[in-house]
Structure 1
Amino acid sequence: MTTEHLLVDGYNVIHDWPEMREAMKKDVNIACQNLADRLRILHDFEGIRVTIVFDGRGEGVEILRPGNEQTFSLVYAPGNSSADEIIIQLVQISKNPNKLTVVSRDHIIRNLVREDGSKLHTPSDLLARIEACERRQSQALYRRNREVEKEWKETERDGEEVE
Structure 2
Amino acid sequence: MRYLNKEQVISKLMRRNKKDYLIVDGYNIINAWDELKDISITDLEHAREKLIDAIIEYAEFTGRLGIIVFDAYNIKSCKEKIEKRKNITIVYTKEHQTADSYIEKFIGTLSKYDDVKVATNDYAEQQIVLGKGASRITSRELKLDLENAKSKIKEKNTSSYKKIQRNWLEDRLDKETLSKLENIRRNR
Q: Post-superposition shift, 1:41?
A: 1.5
Q: Alpha carbons of 1:33 and 1:106: their partners in 2 closer, same or farther (altered >3 Å)?
A: same
* Contact 1:97/1:118 (8 A) holds in 2: no
Q: Post-superposition shift, 1:92?
A: 1.9
Q: Report the residue type matching 2:139 in the other structure.
A: P
State which of 75, 86, 105 in structure 1 corresponds to 2:102: 86
Extract structure 1 runs of 4+ deviating beyond 2 A: 57-60, 153-159
Q: Alpha carbons of 1:128 and 1:155: their partners in 2 closer, same or farther (altered >3 Å)?
A: farther
- When the two chains are superposed, the root-mean-square deviation of aligned CA atoms in Å is 1.9
When the two structures are aligned, how many residues end up with a matched partner? 153
1:1-163 paired onto structure 2 within 5 Å = 3-56=19-72, 59-66=78-85, 69=86, 71-96=87-112, 98-149=114-165, 152-153=166-167, 157-158=171-172
Q: Post-superposition shift, 1:79?
A: 2.0
Cα separation, 2, equivalents of 1:80 and 1:155: 68
In terms of Rg, which structure is larger? 2
* Contact 2:21/2:114 (8 A) holds in 1: no
* Contact 1:64/1:74 (8 A) holds in 2: yes
Q: Output the TM-score relative to the length of structure 2.
A: 0.75
* Contact 2:70/2:92 (8 A) holds in 1: yes
Q: Output the TM-score relative to the length of structure 1.
A: 0.86
Cα separation, 2, equivalents of 1:97 and 1:81: 27
* Contact 1:98/1:117 (8 A) holds in 2: no
Give the match's secondary structure for 1:65. strand
Cα separation, 2, equivalents of 1:82 and 1:155: 64
Give a deviation string over 1:16-49, Cα, whole Å, max 9, x none.
0000001100111111111001112211112110
Q: Alpha carbons of 1:123 and 1:155: their partners in 2 closer, same or farther (altered >3 Å)?
A: farther
Cα separation, 2, equivalents of 1:85 and 1:74: 15
